[in-house]
Amino acid sequence: MGGESQKGKVLVTGASGYIAGFVIKALVADGWQVRGTIRNLARAAEVRATLGLPNLELVACDLMSDAGWAEAMAGVDYVQHIASPIPAGEPKDPNELIVPAREGALRALRFAQAAGVKRVVMTSSMAAIAYGHPDGSPPFTEANWSNIDSMDAYAYIKSKTLAERAARDWMAAHGGAMEYVSINPAAVLGPVLGADFSTSLEVVKKLLDGALPGLPNLGFGVVDVRDVAALHVQAMVTAGLNGERFIAQGRFIWMREVAEVLKAGLGAKAKRVPTRGLPNWLLKLLANFDATLKMVVPELGRRRDASAVHALQLLGWKTRDEATTILDCANSLIEKGLVKG
């Protein structure tokens, strides 16, 4: 990054990803020296251009291979382990997601500890907390874990739950002096830096595109990507957090509320956003032709409230209001040409 940082060096895994991009930008703005990992260095120029960081140091690492990890960790003070497979649809074999998520987390911890890293902050998910519980459960807290034997625990849920559990078990057995913190975000929305954005943004994109003939009975907890990045940095530098777990979620919001925000805030730019409800049977029919929709069918009518009071009390963290996040997301997708005109 041009000269040694006074603060130290941070390795961010999965540097081409949505959350990782904002974490990298937050760290650089805060004066840290940053090294990022990507699977293929052929994408290095594209990643640097997307982040607006022409001198960002990037190294090649794969979640399923030891190659490059020792070099990536050399001289590093902290690790932000964000890389994890995110599917566009439900894989035929859940292990396509579970194995790289779990093995990647353990590989990052093993090489971090060997390199003398002080603390690893790992991006987990509300997927590891809020699934497989009865409807009407009280708001979820960091004490909850998803029940992966439940019918609504699809492959992504299992991958995030098993990866975080494996990481915590490994730390308990082998962590030594190294510290570990996990961040568990809900649906991450907000502005985009480029075309490589999170699957969670497909909700806003599909509404703007007019890809849905109506509004399905779906909802999700919302959190702003900028606030998620800020929480990653705070969880890295704040003393006394070893073993902590932080839910990153604002309010639970239904799709009809998202549509109302878009209609009210965008005017003509939201002309394709539907206003009528979409019956469950019709969404299930459409899901046969759309892998992203197929993944959300089990979520129809499900409400998952969660409390981020722990992060507020320990770190003073809170997320901006949902309308700001949704509108910044929509305007950014439109400006970048990622929504049909």
CATH number of the domain within which 309 lies: 3.40.50.720
Helices and strands, counts by H and E, the chain: 12, 10
Q: What are phi and psi of 180, to 5 degrees?
A: -145, 135
CB 126 within 8 A of CB 184: yes
| Residue 135 located in a structural domain | yes
Does residue 178 sit in helix, strand or coil?
coil
Q: Is 160 a catalytic residue?
A: yes
| Residue 22 located in a structural domain | yes
- Chain-centroid distance, C-alpha 221: 13
Residue 51: partners with Cβ closer than 8 Å, 6 or more residues away: 21, 24, 25, 193
Provide the number of structural domains found in the chain: 1
Full domain range(s) for residue 43 = 9-192+222-251+304-320
Q: What are phi and psi of 36, to 5 degrees?
A: -115, 150
| Residue 28 located in a structural domain | yes
Q: Are strands 33-38 and 57-60 parallel, antiparallel or unpaired?
A: parallel
| Residue 98 located in a structural domain | yes
Which pLDDT value is given to residue 17?
Answer: 93
Q: Which of 102, 123, 106 is nearest to 15 (CA)?
A: 123
CB 22 within 8 A of CB 225: yes
- List % helix, strand, coil for the chain (3-state, nearest 5): 45, 15, 40
| Residue 325 located in a structural domain | no
| Residue 168 located in a structural domain | yes
| Residue 284 located in a structural domain | no
User: At 199, which amino acid appears?
Assistant: T
Q: Which of 239, 193, 141 is nearest to 25 (CA)?
A: 193
Q: Would you give per-residue pLDDT tens digits along the chain (341 residues)? A: 444 557 999 999 999 999 999 999 999 999 999 999 999 999 999 999 999 999 999 999 999 999 999 999 999 999 999 998 876 667 788 898 899 999 999 999 999 999 999 999 999 999 999 999 988 889 999 999 999 987 667 788 999 999 999 999 999 999 999 999 999 999 999 999 988 777 889 899 999 999 888 999 999 999 999 999 999 999 999 999 999 999 999 999 999 999 999 999 999 999 999 999 999 999 899 889 887 788 788 889 999 999 999 999 999 999 999 999 999 999 999 999 999 76
The alpha carbon dihedral of 122, 47, 10, 29 has a sign of negative
Q: What pTM value is reported for the model?
A: 0.94
The full DSSP string for 125-151 is: -GGGTSSSS-TTPPPB-TT----TTST
Catalytic residue among 9, 25, 158, 160: 160
| Residue 169 located in a structural domain | yes
Q: Where are the alpha helices (DSSP H) in the chain?
A: 18-29, 44-51, 69-73, 95-114, 155-174, 202-209, 225-237, 255-266, 280-287, 291-296, 309-315, 322-335
